[in-house]
């Protein structure tokens, strides 16, 4: 049986409190790490014990358009949406960047059947857990995981037919560099698809940074504060600038934040949620989502690498 949230050991209040204190201490050190290590370390600290799902280890906000009953099912629906937009199928070699604990890849392997899925991540614990789960599910011949950065993908040029990033690209240090790398590793005719959290406008993102940088408020980490923000319009422009064609970017925010808030207002009362760090419970409570949800968009983006592209360039071959 593969690892799920049901396998997380039950802790008494003393042990939970000690773990929460250690987690907060480790999170406080994250901004001091080199920029390339911050996100991976933050997710290693979070670990499976801080997830909100019922049985799975999905780490996403879910897609609630069809009124799923649980966060697990909403998370599966989001993975299915990405799979459909990417037109995943048996002939595909897929690179999944920022794969969490692997649940989306297991779903894609079962329901869409790509020939090969390679997951890339900078969170060491996630690589270890996802690899173990793939092996336990008998999928290690079709799915493998490795360490690597989104802005320096450890793959040869033109080695993939699809690149996906499901709720992970907003963590990457640079959208243009990630898009350029995705373009490089895709075969001509290949497709990049992301499901991503972005600010509703760049002005909103700047205002949020200014709000959290006020005296008496804990400052945002430098990697976030100094980030060149991309709203839906800049996102589309950056994909085109990277050489993608047939670019489509659209918002699904009304099928994400409000229904998620409704669901979590009940879910966070469940006894098993006592294991989750109170800081995370607060961030995803209704008051927390009310604070940051209005600033956030949620987009699906896709673009195709056109035929006749030089592998070493983003310009058409002559």
pLDDT digits (tens, 9 = 90+) for 259-304: 999 999 999 999 989 888 898 899 899 888 888 888 899 999 999 9
- CATH number of the domain encompassing residue 265: 3.40.50.150
Backbone φ, ψ for residue 244 (5° rounding): -80, 145
In a domain? residue 316: no
In a domain? residue 310: no
In a domain? residue 177: yes
Q: What is the dihedral of CA 268, 269, 270, 271, to 10 degrees?
A: 110
Place of tokens 């030089």: 310
pLDDT digits (tens, 9 = 90+) for 163-204: 999 999 999 999 999 999 999 999 999 999 999 999 997 555
Structure tokens given for 88: 């995943």
- DSSP-assigned letter for residue 52: -
- Structural domain containing residue 271: 5-304
Nearest one of 206, 163, 205, 207 to 183, comparing CA atoms: 163
In a domain? residue 313: no
Tally of domains in the chain: 1
At 7 the pLDDT is 62
Q: For residue 208, what is the enclosing H or E element?
A: helix 202-212
Mapped onto helix, strand or coil, the DSSP state of residue 114 is coil
Per-residue confidence in pLDDT tens, the chain, 318 aa? 566 666 666 777 788 788 878 878 777 877 777 766 678 777 777 778 888 899 999 999 999 999 999 999 999 999 999 999 999 999 999 999 999 999 999 999 999 999 999 999 999 999 999 999 999 999 999 999 999 999 999 999 999 999 999 999 999 999 999 999 999 999 999 999 999 999 997 555 555 445 444 444 334 344 444 456 899 999 999 999 999 999 999 999 999 999 999 999 999 999 989 888 898 899 899 888 888 888 899 999 999 999 875 554 544 333
Structure tokens given for 57: 């280890």
Strand ranges (E), 167-229: 186-199
- Whole-model pTM: value is 0.85
Tell me the C-alpha distance between 154 and 186, whole Å. Answer: 13
8 A C-beta contact, residue 151 and residue 173: yes
In a domain? residue 317: no
Place of tokens 């790398």: 181
Structure tokens given for 115: 């020939």
């Amino acid at each position: 049986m593969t690892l799920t949230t049901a396998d997380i050991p039950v802790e008494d209040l003393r042990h939970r409190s000690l773990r929460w204190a250690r987690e907060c201490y480790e999170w406080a050190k994250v901004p001091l790490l080199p920029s390339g290590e911050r996100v991976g370390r933050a997710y290693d600290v979070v670990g499976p014990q801080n997830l909100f799902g019922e049985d799975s280890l999905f780490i996403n906000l879910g897609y609630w358009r069809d009124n799923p009953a649980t966060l697990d099912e909403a998370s599966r629906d989001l993975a299915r949406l990405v799979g459909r937009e990417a037109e995943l199928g048996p002939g595909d070699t897929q690179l999944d960047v920022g794969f969490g604990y692997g649940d989306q890849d297991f779903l894609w392997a079962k329901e869409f059947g790509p020939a090969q899925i390679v997951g890339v991540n900078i969170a060491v614990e996630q690589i270890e857990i996802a690899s173990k789960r793939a092996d336990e599910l008998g999928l290690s011949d079709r799915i493998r995981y490795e360490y690597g950065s989104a802005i320096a993908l450890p793959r040869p040029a033109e080695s993939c037919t699809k690149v996906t990033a499901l709720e992970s690209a907003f963590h990457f240090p640079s959208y243009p560099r990630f898009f350029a790398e995705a373009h490089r590793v895709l075969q001509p005719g290949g497709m990049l698809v992301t499901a991503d959290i972005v600010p509703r406008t760049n002005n909103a993102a700047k205002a949020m940074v200014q709000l959290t940088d006020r005296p008496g408020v804990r400052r945002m980490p430098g990697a976030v504060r100094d980030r060149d923000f991309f709203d839906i319009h800049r996102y589309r422009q950056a994909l085109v600038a990277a050489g993608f064609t047939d670019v489509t970017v659209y918002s699904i925010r009304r099928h994400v934040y409000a229904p998620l808030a409704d669901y979590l207002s009940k879910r966070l009362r469940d006894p098993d949620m006592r294991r989750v760090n109170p800081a995370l419970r607060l961030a995803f409570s209704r008051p927390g989502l009310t604070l940051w949800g209005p600033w956030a968009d949620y987009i699906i983006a896709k673009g195709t690498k056109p035929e006749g592209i030089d592998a070493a360039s983003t310009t058409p071959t002559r």
